């Protein structure tokens, strides 16, 4: 009997680069010659709502960038945002592919992501070929590390928590999963993850 029925991956920081984290935002501010301090002051509240699926992309951009006329369009800005998504060096995509080929587990995502960027990243990097369930913040209306998102994941998966393995790069998200009884691993690179999965009998 395999040790887990379900393995859930975070996406940004585990499979791909973060889509819109501090580094990506700073690069975008520099490219478009925007004031990063002013942007960050406007960013937090609408970003939380956008990642929860409570507002669309246009509302987020109107609140953070296009509250005054710009020399570039929203399409230009969003296109540059999307270009920040790349394969993560020493990321876990190869391990995900290997697990999918084994067909021993249900594989899924448990990630914080806005709908528009989530769908772009899943499509562009072929994640739907491997992940059978997307427990993304934009679909659930909840964000990690809130306890409710892990409980909702358990409700949807309808299985015992100890039969679910969760992999995330952020310690607070790992702790949130462990608090509801999932087995949780902090991702610190593909080599370390592979060793841990071998130790657990997954690989």
State the CATH number of the domain containing residue 176: 3.40.50.1000
Residues 7-42: pLDDT tens digits?
Answer: 999 999 999 999 999 999 999 999 999 999 999 999
| 61 lies in the same domain as 157 | no
| 138 lies in the same domain as 173 | yes
Domain membership of residue 1 (yes or no) is: no
| 186 lies in the same domain as 91 | yes
Mean pLDDT estimate for the chain:
97
Residues 92-140: pLDDT tens digits?
Answer: 999 999 999 999 999 999 999 999 999 999 999 999 999 999 999 999 9
| 49 lies in the same domain as 94 | no
The token pair that represents 16 in the structure block: 């791909």
CA distances from 153 to 30, 127, 158, 183 (A): 38, 19, 8, 14
| 129 lies in the same domain as 179 | yes
183, 198 in Cβ contact below 8 A?
Answer: no
> How many angstroms separate the CA atoms of 203 and 195, rounded?
9
Residue 69's domain is classified under what CATH number?
A: 1.10.150.240
162, 9 in Cβ contact below 8 A?
Answer: no
| 171 lies in the same domain as 154 | yes
Residue 1 has pLDDT above 80, yes or no: no
Residues 35-55: pLDDT tens digits?
Answer: 999 999 999 999 999 999 999
| 27 lies in the same domain as 125 | no
**Range of 115's domain?**
6-18+87-199
| 91 lies in the same domain as 150 | yes
């Amino acid at each position: 009997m395999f040790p887990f029925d379900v393995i859930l991956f975070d996406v940004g920081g585990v499979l791909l680069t973060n889509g819109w984290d501090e580094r990506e935002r700073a690069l975008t501010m520099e490219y478009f010659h925007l004031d990063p301090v002013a942007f960050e002051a406007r960013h937090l509240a609408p970003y939380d709502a956008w990642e929860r699926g409570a507002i669309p992309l246009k509302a987020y951009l109107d609140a953070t960038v296009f509250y005054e006329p710009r020399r570039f369009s929203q399409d230009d800005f969003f296109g540059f945002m999307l270009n920040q998504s790349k394969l993560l060096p020493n990321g876990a995509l190869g391990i995900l592919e290997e697990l999918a080929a084994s067909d021993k587990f249900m594989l899924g995502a448990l990630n914080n992501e806005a709908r528009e960027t989530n769908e772009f990243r899943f499509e562009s990097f072929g994640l739907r070929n491997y992940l059978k369930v997307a427990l993304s913040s934009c679909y659930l209306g909840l964000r990690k590390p809130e306890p409710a998102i892990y409980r909702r994941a358990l409700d949807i998966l309808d299985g015992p928590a100890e039969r679910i393995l969760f992999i995330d790069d952020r310690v607070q998200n790992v702790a949130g999963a462990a608090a509801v009884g999932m087995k949780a691993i902090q991702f610190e690179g593909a080599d370390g993850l592979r060793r841990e999965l071998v130790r657990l009998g997954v690989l």
